[in-house]
Amino acid sequence: MNNQPPITDSPWFWFALFPAVGLTALLATGGKFGNRQASIERKGQAHAAIAEGSVSVEVDAKGQKSATGVPKYSQPGRTKVQLLSLSILLGVICATSLGLLVRERWRLVARE
């Protein structure tokens, strides 16, 4: 007779499942998150540059506007927050949780 509780009663199951779903979504979307991350960072960098006053707009004789003192903004693939590090973190959390889940289940089997 199997007196083990269901695997879904273990918190380690849920700690493994949620990062696995996040990692799957991150890998399935390809580079879309990277492009979005670069866009978000550019907006933040622009707001910070304007707030610091380092960016100024000049008008030439023809009436053309140009910005001076513009910082180097993030580009897709070159962001401050790397999605590779997020993927690694999710993978480590998932693998650790799976290891602890297996250990927990093994101890339940050995106890019987």
Q: What is the pLDDT of residues 48-100, one digit of tens each?
A: 887 887 777 788 888 887 777 777 777 777 777 777 888 899 999 999 999 99
- 83: burial class by Cβ within 10 Å (0-12, 13-18, 19+)? middle
Lowest mean pLDDT: which of 21-30, 65-74, 96-105? 65-74
The answer to whether 80 and 2 have CB atoms below 8 angstroms apart is: no
Domain boundaries, the chain: 11-111
Q: Hey, which bits of the chain come out as E strands? A: 56-59, 65-68
Q: By three-state DSSP, how is residue 69 classified? A: coil
Report the predicted TM-score, pTM, of the whole model to 2 decimal places: 0.64
In 3D space, the residue among 45, 95, 93 whose CA is nearest the CA of residue 69 turns out to be 45
